[in-house]
Amino acid sequence: MNPDHHSSLNPSSSLKSRFTKTFLRSLIKINKQRPFPYCPREIFQRCHRVKTAADKSLARAAGSRRVWSRAMLCKIRNRSLRRGCQQRPSVRRIIIGYQTTKKGYCLQKKMSDDQEVGTDQASKLRKLVPGGEAMDLCSLLDEAAHYIKCLNTQVQVMRRIADIHSS
Amino acid sequence: MEMGDKDKFELEKRSDNHINYHSPDSMPSDWRYSSANVANSSLGLVSTDNQMPVCRGDLVGVSSCSSASMVDSFSPGQWDHPTNSQYLGFCDISVQNNASTSNPMGIRKGGPASLRTGLDKTLDIGWNPPSSMLKGGIFLPTAPGVLPQSLSQFPEDSAFIERAASGLKSLSVVQGQKNVMNMGDSSRDTSLSVEHVAIEGSPLKNEKKSGSLVRSHDEAKQGVGGSGNESEEAEFSGGGRQDKPSKLEGNGGEQSAKSPASKKRKRNGQDADLDQAKGTQQSVEAAKDNPEVQQKGDENPTSTPIKATGKQCKLGSQASDPPKEEYIHVRARRGQATNSHSLAERVRREKISERMKFLQDLVPGCSKVTGKAVMLDEIINYVQSLQRQVEFLSMKLATVNPRLDFNTEGLLAKDILHSRAVSSSTLAFSAEVPMVYPPFNASQPGFIQASFPGMESHSDMLRRAINSQLTPMTGGFKETTQLPNAWDDELHNVVQMGYVTCAPQDSQDINGSLPPGHMKAEL
């Protein structure tokens, strides 16, 4: 569904194609960097790396115009900063601080909007959609729709890759 | 304001006809009549110069003059018809419209026993709507008290009302919120006193209430109604005081926030209403130019005014049903509150429902779901399942023996992009998934077992998610498989995800763990 829609607009740069290319490249990189994992721990690490790569490539393919893609990239960056290097705490704090303040302010402002549809569900959705904490219900639904679309593409491509590898 | 002009003409005619002020007892009929007139006029304003809601003859004359001037103050540029009746009719109509447009939320709830007369009832009914109208930015200046009597007397102010409505259309600011509440209280007062207070208060309070009005309102109102108000005040005060000096004074005291609570509320409400009515009218023009407080309301006004005026024209036949009429503030759709808050909320609700519909198309199996709560649940479940699928697939890819290299990357990419194989035999999954779950924990491949601890929680959640999803989706599966819809893949993926999650556990080799049948189904 996505490919068809996107291909009608621009076959060479559909979401699916962008994601596929980016993800395959990162997969190859991951496979090259580490030997094939045989112990569970390595598998788990690898799995995490693959997942991160998938999310990152999806966010990049989705573009930075979307709140969720930006939030996802920020999260990944923060994670890598937190995990990888402690040498840039200032950057990390700035990013985290910005996100928290934005989230807090927007949450306060938008709490009243949740009552209309159900606070629990809205808050659940906020947690699911990256960057959904700092959004009103309207844009949250918007972002959720786009996020679902991209997730579908991601799952589709990943499954295809897995099938190809397994078969 | 073409309609306004036309209405003005009608108003003039009507005012001539309804010169006689009817006694309060006959007010209901008059009010209804006026409401009928109002209905006829898009604005619903019945300008009855003669039918000033004056219980006393003095007031009639005064009110007529004041209304005329007040009308001027409302929209000097728009209404050349300053007649008390017009103004009163305006209030009346607005009340009527409010009654019709606003939800019966307060329409009879707060109606005090005193307002059980025909007048009172109309006032009540009309009053509550005004509150809602005010919210929409159409604050009807008429104090509740004024309206009951004036209402009956302003059947002919339709033109005025139309003009006012058209003027108010652009007004999206909610000023009536506060005033509405006041108005509601004031409506409880007797009509007579209210009337006088309203008439008197409006000019007096124009300046006072201007602050409460939208900033644009204030500018417009003060600029325009300043002169008019002063003149009106003099007239009103003179007229009002004559008849009920005590009340008026009390009202006056209210203005200064000294009178008893009831009177004060009444007066505040009246004044606020009057002020807002004037201010809104005046500020309508200003509002159009100035950025509205509620931008959404701005959008509505531009679109709804035309709609509203059209609808107003049809209101004539419904004279006997005041609650159905629209108020001058055309921005609100027919039968809807015109408060700017409610307008903005309505816009927001529409946006949300529009997005929910779009999401409904995205999430498979939700075409039959109605209601935001259930829909949101489905969406949440679907997003969770998709995320778990990604997790599982990444785990799978992590364990896949990488046969990729740069050479095959391009080929793989093409293969992936162009592969559109979709099997239609996925229905079997739904039955098999539950059976797969039990063996999930039982048989775990040795080398994968270690990694499962991290995934067990995922698997449990995934299982639950998939189970929860399967139920609503099984129906959808059947439908989708029959129709190769775009999201057919997703459905299959979802089902297969749960199935695949469990299936690999049975086999030792996760790479080839998926049964060929399932693989085919996936593809």
Task: Write down the ipTM of this complex.
Answer: 0.78
Q: Is residue A127 less than 8 Å (CB to CB) from chain B?
A: no
Which pLDDT belongs to residue B311? 44
> Does residue A5 sit within a domain?
no
> Does residue B156 sit within a domain?
no
> Does residue B385 sit within a domain?
yes
> Does residue A117 sit within a domain?
no
Which pLDDT belongs to residue A45? 81
Do residues B402 and A27 touch, judged by C-beta distance below 8 A? Answer: yes
List the single residue in B with minimal CA-CA distance to A39. B447
> Does residue A36 sit within a domain?
yes
> Does residue B193 sit within a domain?
no
Nearest Cα to A3, choosing from B393, B429, B414?
B414
Q: Is residue A33 less than 8 Å (CB to CB) from chain B?
A: no
> Does residue A115 sit within a domain?
no
> Does residue B418 sit within a domain?
no
What region does A63 belong to: left with phi over 0, alpha with psi -120 to 50, or beta?
left
Amino acid at A73: L
Q: If you average pLDDT over every residue of chain B, what do you get?
A: 51
Query: Measured between beta carbons, which residues in chain A are less than 8 angstroms from residue B429?
Result: none
> Does residue A120 sit within a domain?
no
> Does residue B456 sit within a domain?
no
Residues B349, B330: Cα–Cα separation, whole Å: 19
pLDDT at B220 over 70: no
Nearest Cα to B31, choosing from B154, B191, B139?
B154
Q: Is residue A147 less than 8 Å (CB to CB) from chain B?
A: yes
B351, B373, B511 ranked by CB distance to A118: nearest: B373
A4, A31, A141 ranked by CB distance to B359: nearest: A141
Query: Measured between beta carbons, which residues in chain A are less than 8 angstroms from residue B512?
Result: 166-167
> Does residue B139 sit within a domain?
no
Number of Cβ atoms within 10 Å of the Cβ of B425: 12
- Which CATH number does the domain housing residue B361 bear? 4.10.280.10
| pLDDT digits 0-9 by tens, B341-371 | 888 888 888 888 888 888 888 888 877 777 7
Residues A71, A82: Cα–Cα separation, whole Å: 16
Tell me how many domains chain A contains: 1
Would you call B386 and A148 a contact, using CB atoms and an 8 Å cutoff?
A: yes
pLDDT at B146 over 60: no
Pair of tokens at residue B520: 């085919």
What does the H/E/C string look like for B439-508?
HHHHCCCHHHHCCHHHHHHHHHHHHHHHHHHHHHHHHHHHHHHHCCCCCHHHHHHHHHHHHHHHHHHHCC
Of the segments B4-8, B160-164, B185-189, B438-442, which one has the largest average pLDDT value? B160-164
pLDDT confidence band for B426 (50 / 70 / 90) = very low
Of the segments A75-79, B44-48, B108-112, B225-229, which one has the largest average pLDDT value? A75-79
Provide the residue range defining the domain that includes A146.
Answer: 10-93+133-166
Which pLDDT belongs to residue A157? 86
> Does residue A162 sit within a domain?
yes
| pLDDT digits 0-9 by tens, B458-474 | 445 445 544 444 444 44
pTM above 0.80, yes or no: no
Provide the residue range defining the domain that includes B348.
Answer: 342-397
Residue ranges in chain A whose pLDDT is less than 70: 1-12, 34, 36-37, 85-118
Tell me how many domains chain B contains: 1
Residue recorded with tokens 């304003």: B45
Residues B47, B154: Cα–Cα separation, whole Å: 4
pLDDT at B186 over 70: no
Which pLDDT belongs to residue B182? 46
Pair of tokens at residue A116: 């209309």
> Does residue B368 sit within a domain?
yes
CA distances from A107 to A80, A93, A112, A113 (A): 26, 20, 9, 10
Q: Is residue A123 less than 8 Å (CB to CB) from chain B?
A: no
Which pLDDT belongs to residue B74? 45
> Does residue B361 sit within a domain?
yes
Run of H or E including A104: helix A89-117
Would you call B352 and A149 a contact, using CB atoms and an 8 Å cutoff?
A: no
Would you call A152 and B396 a contact, using CB atoms and an 8 Å cutoff?
A: no
> Does residue A126 sit within a domain?
no
